[in-house]
Amino acid sequence: MNTSRFLQQITQKEQLAILLDPDKLQVDEIARLIRDIPTQTNFLLIGGSFVSKGKTDIIVKEVKKHTTLPLILFPGDHEQLSNHADAILFLSLLSGENAAFLIGHHLKAAPEIKKAKLSVIPTGYILIDGGNHSSVAQKSRTRPMNPSDIEKIVNTAITAEYLGKQLIYLEAGSGAKTPVKPGIIQEVAKNVELPIIVGGGLRSRIQIQEAYQAGADVVVIGTAFENKNLAL
Ligand code: 1GP
Protein backbone atom coordinates (compact mmCIF):
# COMPACT_ATOMS: atom_id res chain seq x y z
CA MET A 1 0.00 0.00 0.00
CA ASN A 2 1.30 3.50 -0.68
CA THR A 3 2.65 5.35 2.32
CA SER A 4 0.09 8.14 2.57
CA ARG A 5 -2.84 5.69 2.37
CA PHE A 6 -1.18 3.50 4.95
CA LEU A 7 -0.56 6.49 7.22
CA GLN A 8 -4.19 7.56 6.85
CA GLN A 9 -5.35 4.09 7.79
CA ILE A 10 -3.26 3.87 10.95
CA THR A 11 -4.00 7.37 12.20
CA GLN A 12 -7.77 7.44 12.00
CA LYS A 13 -9.35 8.69 15.19
CA GLU A 14 -8.43 6.97 18.47
CA GLN A 15 -6.27 4.11 17.28
CA LEU A 16 -4.70 1.60 19.62
CA ALA A 17 -1.32 0.01 18.88
CA ILE A 18 0.26 -2.78 20.87
CA LEU A 19 4.05 -2.78 20.97
CA LEU A 20 5.92 -6.07 20.90
CA ASP A 21 9.61 -6.06 21.78
CA PRO A 22 11.40 -8.92 19.95
CA ASP A 23 14.11 -8.92 22.60
CA LYS A 24 11.60 -10.10 25.19
CA LEU A 25 9.83 -12.70 23.03
CA GLN A 26 10.34 -16.32 22.10
CA VAL A 27 8.89 -17.77 18.90
CA ASP A 28 6.94 -20.48 20.71
CA GLU A 29 4.99 -17.96 22.81
CA ILE A 30 3.82 -15.79 19.91
CA ALA A 31 0.60 -17.70 19.14
CA ARG A 32 -0.63 -17.32 22.72
CA LEU A 33 0.47 -13.71 22.89
CA ILE A 34 -1.47 -12.84 19.76
CA ARG A 35 -4.58 -14.45 21.22
CA ASP A 36 -4.26 -12.08 24.20
CA ILE A 37 -4.14 -8.93 22.09
CA PRO A 38 -7.12 -6.72 22.97
CA THR A 39 -9.85 -6.77 20.33
CA GLN A 40 -9.74 -2.95 20.09
CA THR A 41 -6.17 -3.10 18.71
CA ASN A 42 -5.75 -1.49 15.30
CA PHE A 43 -2.14 -2.38 14.54
CA LEU A 44 1.06 -3.75 16.00
CA LEU A 45 4.42 -2.07 16.44
CA ILE A 46 7.49 -4.25 16.63
CA GLY A 47 10.77 -3.01 18.02
CA GLY A 48 12.86 -2.20 21.04
CA SER A 49 16.01 -0.43 22.05
CA PHE A 50 18.14 -3.52 22.44
CA VAL A 51 17.30 -6.27 19.95
CA SER A 52 19.89 -8.70 18.60
CA LYS A 53 20.52 -8.85 14.86
CA GLY A 54 18.08 -11.08 12.98
CA LYS A 55 15.61 -11.45 15.86
CA THR A 56 13.19 -8.86 14.47
CA ASP A 57 12.71 -10.78 11.22
CA ILE A 58 12.16 -14.08 13.07
CA ILE A 59 9.50 -12.54 15.32
CA VAL A 60 7.80 -10.60 12.51
CA LYS A 61 7.46 -13.77 10.41
CA GLU A 62 5.94 -15.64 13.32
CA VAL A 63 3.54 -12.82 14.26
CA LYS A 64 2.35 -12.63 10.65
CA LYS A 65 1.31 -16.29 10.81
CA HIS A 66 -1.14 -15.52 13.61
CA THR A 67 -2.70 -12.14 12.82
CA THR A 68 -3.86 -9.99 9.96
CA LEU A 69 -3.31 -6.75 11.90
CA PRO A 70 -0.95 -4.33 10.13
CA LEU A 71 2.56 -4.73 11.46
CA ILE A 72 4.87 -1.75 11.66
CA LEU A 73 8.54 -1.76 12.50
CA PHE A 74 9.53 0.59 15.32
CA PRO A 75 13.28 0.07 15.21
CA GLY A 76 15.82 1.03 17.85
CA ASP A 77 18.60 0.82 15.27
CA HIS A 78 19.40 -0.06 11.64
CA GLU A 79 19.58 -3.80 12.31
CA GLN A 80 15.93 -4.14 13.32
CA LEU A 81 14.51 -4.70 9.86
CA SER A 82 12.25 -7.26 8.25
CA ASN A 83 10.83 -7.37 4.76
CA HIS A 84 7.85 -9.28 6.15
CA ALA A 85 6.46 -6.21 7.95
CA ASP A 86 4.03 -3.79 6.29
CA ALA A 87 5.71 -0.51 7.13
CA ILE A 88 8.43 1.16 9.14
CA LEU A 89 8.42 4.23 11.34
CA PHE A 90 11.55 5.94 10.02
CA LEU A 91 12.34 7.61 13.31
CA SER A 92 14.47 10.71 13.76
CA LEU A 93 15.12 11.32 17.44
CA LEU A 94 14.63 15.08 17.31
CA SER A 95 14.74 15.63 21.07
CA GLY A 96 18.46 14.84 21.09
CA GLU A 97 21.48 15.84 19.12
CA ASN A 98 23.06 12.46 18.54
CA ALA A 99 23.73 12.38 14.79
CA ALA A 100 23.54 8.58 14.72
CA PHE A 101 19.87 8.80 15.66
CA LEU A 102 19.15 11.75 13.40
CA ILE A 103 20.61 10.29 10.20
CA GLY A 104 23.28 7.65 10.93
CA HIS A 105 21.22 4.49 11.39
CA HIS A 106 18.92 5.72 8.65
CA LEU A 107 21.71 5.81 6.09
CA LYS A 108 22.74 2.27 7.00
CA ALA A 109 19.16 1.00 6.79
CA ALA A 110 18.00 2.80 3.64
CA PRO A 111 19.30 0.30 1.02
CA GLU A 112 17.72 -2.64 2.88
CA ILE A 113 14.43 -0.78 3.31
CA LYS A 114 14.40 0.06 -0.39
CA LYS A 115 14.84 -3.62 -1.29
CA ALA A 116 12.18 -4.68 1.22
CA LYS A 117 9.58 -2.32 -0.29
CA LEU A 118 8.20 -1.32 3.10
CA SER A 119 5.93 1.72 3.43
CA VAL A 120 8.22 4.29 5.01
CA ILE A 121 6.70 6.77 7.45
CA PRO A 122 9.05 9.67 8.27
CA THR A 123 8.50 10.21 11.98
CA GLY A 124 9.64 12.97 14.33
CA TYR A 125 10.44 11.07 17.51
CA ILE A 126 10.43 13.19 20.66
CA LEU A 127 11.57 11.74 23.97
CA ILE A 128 10.11 13.46 27.03
CA ASP A 129 11.25 12.66 30.54
CA GLY A 130 8.92 10.05 32.05
CA GLY A 131 10.63 9.85 35.43
CA ASN A 132 12.99 6.94 34.80
CA HIS A 133 16.18 6.41 32.80
CA SER A 134 14.48 5.06 29.68
CA SER A 135 16.04 2.54 27.36
CA VAL A 136 15.70 5.05 24.50
CA ALA A 137 17.81 7.54 26.46
CA GLN A 138 20.35 4.81 27.29
CA LYS A 139 20.60 3.52 23.75
CA SER A 140 20.72 6.92 22.06
CA ARG A 141 22.82 8.57 24.74
CA THR A 142 20.54 11.58 24.61
CA ARG A 143 18.67 13.39 27.32
CA PRO A 144 14.90 13.46 27.29
CA MET A 145 13.14 16.79 27.07
CA ASN A 146 11.89 18.40 30.24
CA PRO A 147 8.09 17.96 30.40
CA SER A 148 7.80 21.42 31.95
CA ASP A 149 9.37 23.02 28.89
CA ILE A 150 6.26 22.75 26.75
CA GLU A 151 7.40 25.57 24.49
CA LYS A 152 10.54 23.68 23.47
CA ILE A 153 8.60 20.45 22.96
CA VAL A 154 6.09 22.27 20.74
CA ASN A 155 8.90 23.96 18.83
CA THR A 156 10.52 20.58 18.26
CA ALA A 157 7.24 19.24 16.86
CA ILE A 158 6.85 22.28 14.61
CA THR A 159 10.42 21.74 13.40
CA ALA A 160 9.57 18.11 12.66
CA GLU A 161 6.69 19.28 10.48
CA TYR A 162 8.94 21.74 8.64
CA LEU A 163 11.50 18.97 8.12
CA GLY A 164 8.82 17.00 6.28
CA LYS A 165 8.01 14.38 8.90
CA GLN A 166 4.57 12.87 8.45
CA LEU A 167 4.00 11.77 12.01
CA ILE A 168 4.94 12.92 15.51
CA TYR A 169 5.70 10.33 18.20
CA LEU A 170 5.62 11.73 21.74
CA GLU A 171 7.50 9.17 23.81
CA ALA A 172 7.86 9.04 27.60
CA GLY A 173 9.97 5.86 27.36
CA SER A 174 8.99 2.28 27.92
CA GLY A 175 7.72 1.70 31.45
CA ALA A 176 7.66 5.45 32.17
CA LYS A 177 6.48 6.43 35.62
CA THR A 178 4.78 9.48 34.16
CA PRO A 179 3.25 9.26 30.67
CA VAL A 180 3.27 12.29 28.37
CA LYS A 181 0.90 14.75 29.99
CA PRO A 182 -2.36 15.64 28.23
CA GLY A 183 -1.35 19.32 28.37
CA ILE A 184 1.72 18.59 26.25
CA ILE A 185 -0.26 16.54 23.72
CA GLN A 186 -2.82 19.32 23.51
CA GLU A 187 -0.26 22.04 22.79
CA VAL A 188 1.49 19.92 20.17
CA ALA A 189 -1.84 19.07 18.52
CA LYS A 190 -2.76 22.75 18.46
CA ASN A 191 0.46 23.71 16.72
CA VAL A 192 1.08 20.99 14.13
CA GLU A 193 -1.12 19.44 11.48
CA LEU A 194 0.51 16.02 11.74
CA PRO A 195 -1.00 12.93 13.32
CA ILE A 196 0.31 12.24 16.80
CA ILE A 197 1.30 8.94 18.41
CA VAL A 198 1.73 8.86 22.18
CA GLY A 199 3.43 6.11 24.17
CA GLY A 200 5.32 5.31 27.32
CA GLY A 201 3.87 4.36 30.69
CA LEU A 202 0.19 4.26 29.65
CA ARG A 203 -1.68 1.52 31.46
CA SER A 204 -5.22 2.58 32.30
CA ARG A 205 -8.35 3.32 30.34
CA ILE A 206 -8.50 6.81 31.85
CA GLN A 207 -4.94 7.66 30.77
CA ILE A 208 -5.67 6.42 27.27
CA GLN A 209 -8.92 8.40 27.02
CA GLU A 210 -7.17 11.53 28.30
CA ALA A 211 -4.48 11.13 25.65
CA TYR A 212 -7.12 10.81 22.90
CA GLN A 213 -9.07 13.77 24.21
CA ALA A 214 -5.91 15.86 24.27
CA GLY A 215 -5.30 15.12 20.58
CA ALA A 216 -3.44 11.80 20.32
CA ASP A 217 -4.49 9.90 17.19
CA VAL A 218 -2.73 6.73 18.29
CA VAL A 219 -1.87 5.40 21.72
CA VAL A 220 0.85 2.76 22.09
CA ILE A 221 0.88 0.19 24.87
CA GLY A 222 3.86 -2.07 25.47
CA THR A 223 4.75 -2.77 29.09
CA ALA A 224 1.18 -2.94 30.45
CA PHE A 225 0.32 -5.56 27.80
CA GLU A 226 3.51 -7.52 28.50
CA ASN A 227 2.76 -7.51 32.23
CA LYS A 228 -0.91 -8.42 31.65
CA ASN A 229 -1.68 -5.23 33.43
CA LEU A 230 -3.70 -3.41 30.83
CA ALA A 231 -7.05 -2.14 32.04
CA LEU A 232 -9.04 -1.17 28.95
C1 1GP B 1 7.76 2.58 24.26
O2 1GP B 1 6.00 4.08 23.74
C3 1GP B 1 6.32 2.75 23.91
O4 1GP B 1 8.57 2.93 23.21
C5 1GP B 1 5.44 2.02 24.88
O6 1GP B 1 5.77 2.27 26.21
O7 1GP B 1 6.14 0.03 27.22
O8 1GP B 1 5.55 1.96 28.66
O9 1GP B 1 3.85 0.97 27.15
P10 1GP B 1 5.29 1.26 27.38
In the DSSP assignment, the letter for residue 76 is: S
Query: Could you tell me which of 195, 224, 223, 222 has the C-alpha nearest to residue 14?
Result: 195
**Which one of 74, 93, 220 would you pick to mutate in the ligand 1 pocket, going by the greatest count of ligand atoms within 8 A of its CB?**
220
Query: Which pLDDT belongs to residue 2?
Result: 74
- The pTM of the full predicted model, rounded to 2 decimals, is 0.97
What domains are there in the chain, each with its CATH number?
Answer: 3-226 (3.20.20.390)
Host H or E run for residue 3: helix 3-10
Is residue 207 lining ligand 1, measured as CB closer than 6 Å?
Answer: no
CA angle at 176 for the pair 210 and 154, rounded to the nearest 5°: 60
Is residue 199 lining ligand 1, measured as CB closer than 6 Å?
Answer: yes
**60 burial class (0-12, 13-18, 19+ CB within 10 angstroms)?**
buried
Query: Which pLDDT belongs to residue 1?
Result: 67
CA distance 163 to 151: 18
Query: Which pLDDT belongs to residue 183?
Result: 98
pLDDT tens for the chain, 232 residues long, are 678 888 888 888 899 999 999 999 999 999 999 999 999 999 999 999 999 889 999 999 999 999 999 999 999 999 999 999 999 999 999 999 999 999 999 999 999 999 998 999 999 999 999 999 999 999 999 999 999 999 999 999 999 999 999 999 999 999 999 999 999 999 999 999 999 999 999 999 999 999 999 999 999 999 999 998 887 8
Query: Which pLDDT belongs to residue 13?
Result: 86
Give the three-state DSSP class for 161.
helix
Host H or E run for residue 119: strand 119-127
